[in-house]
Amino acid sequence: MGDLGWIRRHLRRVLLGGTAALLLAPLLAFVIGWLVFPVPDVDEAVNNQVALISYSDGSELTRLVPEAGNRTKVQLAQIPVPVRHAVLAAEDRSFYSNPGFDLTGILRAVWNQLRGGDGGGSTITQQYVKNALVGNDISLWRKYRELIVSVKLVQQRSKDDILTDYLNTIYFGRGAYGIEAAAQAYFGKHVTDLGAAEGALLAGVIQGPSRWDPALDLEKATQRWEFVMDGMASQGWLSAAERSSSRFPATQPRRLPSSGSFGDERGHIIDSVKSELESLGITDREVAQDGLRITTTIDRGQQGAAVAAVRRAFAGQPDELRAAVVTVDAATGGIRAYYGGDDGVGLDYAQVRKQAGSTFKPFAVLAALLHDPPAPIGQVYDGTEPSGRPGADGADCPRCDVTRAMTISNNAVFLKLALRLGPEQVAAAARAAGITSPLDHPDERLALGNKEVTPLELASAYATLADGGVWHAPHVVARVVDGDGRLLYDAGADGASAGDRRFGEQVARNVAETMLDVAAYRGLGIGTPVAAAPGTVPSRIAGETNDAWFGGFTPAMATAVWIGTDRNSPLRTSSATSITGSTLPGRVWRDVMATAPQLPFGPFRPIGEPAPDLPSGTPTRRQPTEGP
């Protein structure tokens, strides 16, 4: 009996202790949180939303800080009452009566998360706190912090002050932080001039600017607007007559800021990052609000080399010259250097289509090798024009094989090659390598680059040749993590770096073989074997040039360089000499490729045997050698 009494007393103590712990633990957690978590101010709330963009090594490239024009603080009195009511109807109808948090919503969030689902809803106070703390993580820890700071905030600030701070920090899409910037972005008005219908549209986009912007999805935006307007009417903030007479408001065309305050060459990288994030399903709102940490594929050293090379080449040259440089990692498709011009808010020349000139000749060679039967690079062709003159550019080669024709730039050989294969075959080969621009209705001049492509496309297609016929999607985003450390995207894990075999390794190596003597022949060697091709696009004015290119690759990376003008005017240096692919573009290319990893080309095994009966006599072939 004594033992039984002892057990009962022991159980009673355990139960009392457990009950006390259950009661005291939340209180203790609340006290600790109250002491530890500070109340953020309105500027901190915006700054904590800022996305950090870094180079591939993790060093900072830039931060996406809102421009002054994209965030303007206003006082609550400047925000019309119907606009305030619209926000409350959309986000928190009990804002002025609740204690700053929704206990039901928190309990629902806990229950959902314990079951592996998403969280519950939040009050306006909680939303403001969440943004200030960069707390978009779906976790009990975030809800705990959110609850504590929300209660502290209500104790220290009035509801009017909280609403004012919320409306000055929330992101509305279109690059607009705060209600005043949103009024300008959507309606071209000051917030003081907005009515209930316009306020309802802005209130409706808060939860999902990428879903409910009428410029992106008018039907969904209208449904959301109806929901907000009905909510205002149900709360008595809008009369029945006002509700029935209201019409969905017209908005301005959607214009996103191109690259914030990045007026230098970084602006084009930022625009490329934003565009790629959107294609990955990472919304404009997430970029603007979730404190993302975005690692790019841009190599800090190679980017610096590209920018420095252009500035050296352009020193003392005419102001109208423009340039683009793109370097692509052959093994992954990651863009290692990206220069679209010094004006980060101007035209991105890395994405501008221009005639490619002779940088397209390797795709004619590729087409020949993919033909059935393949036309070998050792085949000798008639290198004269119909008039009997040598092919072009002083290329004195009446009878030469493809490698010699590529080296000295004999155009006649490639025109005849394209005619023999069919221009559509050259276009198909270029597409296989990675050219995505339209190559519609080609003729034999496609082998000489009479169709337009971008520097980015050319670098990507050359990278396919460099990687033995494996195409990798060119990309600039390597990894994205949100403000709470959650991995949102990884280019390797998500397949962006995975390759697609487009043609055989031996075929790619044969194309490269025809290009290996070009750089040295042009005085642009880099001390390691490199495949290259210049491109010079003639002007309508005889003897002049409109566009000049130089492209090439090692087995590790490919670089394309373009130089031209905005008006397609003849290219001349400050000393009035004509600019060709092997002059300024070639020098820029050489300086950039000097940073390339020193990887050797694989052994060369020729494809096919030359035919004995092509025009202009008995063919003789350049004897191939093992290696480059």
Q: What is the pLDDT of residue 175?
A: 81
- The count of other CB atoms within 10 Å of the CB of residue 239 is 11
pLDDT at 422 over 80: yes
Q: What is the pLDDT of residue 201?
A: 97
pLDDT at 14 over 80: no
Q: Does one domain contain both 104 and 237? A: yes
Q: What is the pLDDT of residue 10?
A: 63
Residue 253 has, within 13 A of its CA and on its CB side, a CA count of 2
pLDDT at 492 over 90: no
Q: Does one domain contain both 358 and 240? A: no
Distance of alpha carbon 337 from its chain centroid, rounded? 13
CATH number, domain at 185? 1.10.3810.10
Query: How confident is residue 113, by pLDDT bands cut at 50, 70 and 90?
Result: very low
pLDDT in tens, 58-72: 999 988 866 544 568
Range picked from 68-72, 344-348, 557-561, 616-620 for highest mean pLDDT: 557-561
In a domain, residue 235? The reply is yes
Q: What is the pLDDT of residue 38?
A: 62
Q: What is the pLDDT of residue 142?
A: 61
Give the residue from 189, 224, 245 where a domain finishes. Answer: 245
Structure tokens at 200: 């309802």
pLDDT in tens, 505-536: 999 999 999 999 999 999 999 999 999 999 99
Domain around 371: 354-449
Query: How confident is residue 289, by pLDDT bands cut at 50, 70 and 90?
Result: confident
CB < 8 Å & 24+ apart, contacts of 409-414: 409/358, 409/534, 410/383, 411/358, 411/448, 412/381, 412/382, 412/383, 412/384, 412/385, 413/381, 413/382, 413/383, 414/358, 414/361, 414/364, 414/447, 414/448
Stretch 426-431: mean pLDDT, rounded?
98
In a domain, residue 6? The reply is no
Q: What is the pLDDT of residue 42?
A: 62
Average the pLDDT over each of 154-163, 198-207, 313-322 and give the range with the smallest value: 154-163
In a domain, residue 275? The reply is no
Query: How confident is residue 392, by pLDDT bands cut at 50, 70 and 90?
Result: low
Q: Which residues of 78-111 are buried (b: 16+ CB within 10 A; e: fewer)?
A: ebbebbbbbbbbbbbbebeebebbbeebbeebee
Stretch 103-123: mean pLDDT, rounded?
52
Q: What is the pLDDT of residue 476?
A: 98
Counted domains in the chain: 2
In a domain, residue 589? The reply is no
In terms of DSSP bridges, do strands 452-453 and 354-355 run parallel, antiparallel, or are they unpaired? antiparallel
Q: Which residues are catalytic?
A: 91, 358
In a domain, residue 2? The reply is no
**DSSP classification of residue 619:** -
In a domain, residue 478? The reply is no
Query: How confident is residue 449, by pLDDT bands cut at 50, 70 and 90?
Result: very high
- The count of other CB atoms within 10 Å of the CB of residue 437 is 15
Q: How far is the C-alpha of 334 from the C-alpha of 319, rounded, in Å?
A: 31
CATH number, domain at 405? 3.40.710.10
pLDDT at 17 over 60: no
In a domain, residue 537? The reply is no
What are the distances in angstroms from CA 482 to CA 209, 297, 578, 607?
18, 18, 50, 50
Look up the pTM and report it: 0.79
Q: What is the pLDDT of residue 566?
A: 93
The percentage of the chain sitting over the pLDDT mark of 70, rounded to a whole number, equals: 79
Give the residue from 186, 215, 245 where a domain finishes. Answer: 245
Q: How far is the C-alpha of 290 from the C-alpha of 473, rounded, in Å?
A: 27
Residue 62 has, within 13 A of its CA and on its CB side, a CA count of 20
Mean pLDDT taken over the chain: 85
pLDDT at 262 over 70: no
Structure tokens at 176: 């607009």
514 neighbors 402 (Cβ within 8 angstroms): yes
Q: What is the pLDDT of residue 268?
A: 94
Q: Does one domain contain both 230 and 371? A: no
Give the residue from 225, 245, 265 where a domain finishes. Answer: 245
pLDDT at 615 over 60: no
Q: What is the pLDDT of residue 254?
A: 84
In a domain, residue 391? The reply is yes
